Amino acid sequence: MSEIKKTSRTSLSRAKQRGSYDRETIYSILDSTPVCQVGFIRNGHPAVLPMAYGRLNNKIYLHGAEESPFLKDIAASETLCISVFILDGLVFARSAFHHSMNFRSAVMYGKAEKMVSDEEKIRGLKALTDRILPGRWENVRLPTSAELKQTMVLAFPVEEASAKIRSGGPLDSPSDMDFPVWAGTVPVKMQASSPVTDRESKIPAPENMNEIFTADRNL
């Protein structure tokens, strides 16, 4: 395992014991959710856009319409702030002050690179597609040249990043331990249900899709 070098933007100032700069820890968080929040400046004002993404090695890939004003601003931004947050549980303490949440999060800074060639675009789009359903790219109709021209693909390097993780139960003050109220945690996860076949389709859902999306796992 290797650590990502800390910077003034990624160094934690509070609850430092919950922080991590370990590359594999950050990758595991990125691989546990399909949606990130992309922060950038648009027309002189801060903007945050939720986007699907996929990771391949040390890059995450974003995509959208080539003519999207938002995508154009993201591509032109000198610095993006991209974050992900996974809620793992609600933490109920004996005092209102110590209520909390269990979570895994990652925050990254950097500049996105616009993919130009069809080969580069396909690499990113495959990472995005297979992130949702492994192996899907090999089974669907691949993008045409015209569709690739209409699609913008951005690669964002994971080189300035940190993670923050909270787990466990409430951390009440010793003086509150005898307060007569329930304390504990409620686990939370985002989980898919069984696939619903399109009514125009005569092909049933693949067995591996049922296995993947009904398994006890987060998206």
Burial of residue 51, with CB atoms counted within 10 A of its CB: 0-12 exposed, 13-18 middle, 19 or more buried: buried
Residue 59 C-beta-side C-alpha neighbours within 13 Å: 18
- 68 and 22 within one domain: yes
Q: By mean pLDDT, which of 29-38, 166-175, 198-207 is the weakest?
A: 198-207
- 140 and 200 within one domain: no
Give the pLDDT band of residue 203 (cuts 50, 70, 90): confident
Q: What is the pLDDT of residues 149-165, one digit of tens each?
A: 999 999 999 999 999 99
Query: Does some domain include residue 159?
Result: yes
Q: What is the pLDDT of residues 75-134, one digit of tens each?
A: 999 999 999 999 999 999 999 999 999 999 999 999 999 999 999 999 999 999 999 888
What average pLDDT does range 173-197 have in this prediction? 92
Mean pLDDT score of the chain, rounded to an integer? Answer: 93
Which pLDDT does position 217 carry in this prediction?
Answer: 54
pTM for the model stands at: 0.90
**Structurally, how many domains does the chain consist of?**
2
- Burial readout 129-155 (b: 16 or more C-beta within 10 A, e: otherwise): bebebeeeeeeeeeeeeeebeebbbbb
Query: Does some domain include residue 175?
Result: no
Query: Does some domain include residue 46?
Result: yes
Query: Does some domain include residue 106?
Result: yes
Q: In this model, does residue 40 exceed pLDDT 80?
A: yes
Query: Does some domain include residue 6?
Result: no
- 207 and 163 within one domain: no
Give the pLDDT band of residue 192 (cuts 50, 70, 90): confident
The domain of 54 spans 16-88+101-167
- 201 and 149 within one domain: no
Beta bridge pairs of residue 153: 63
Q: What percent of the chain has pLDDT over 90?
A: 78
Q: What is the pLDDT of residues 138-151, one digit of tens each?
A: 989 999 999 999 99
- 195 and 162 within one domain: no
- 159 and 81 within one domain: yes
Query: Does some domain include residue 8?
Result: no
- 118 and 194 within one domain: no
- 217 and 126 within one domain: no
Quick check: 137 and 130 in contact, CB under 8 A? yes
- 141 and 56 within one domain: yes
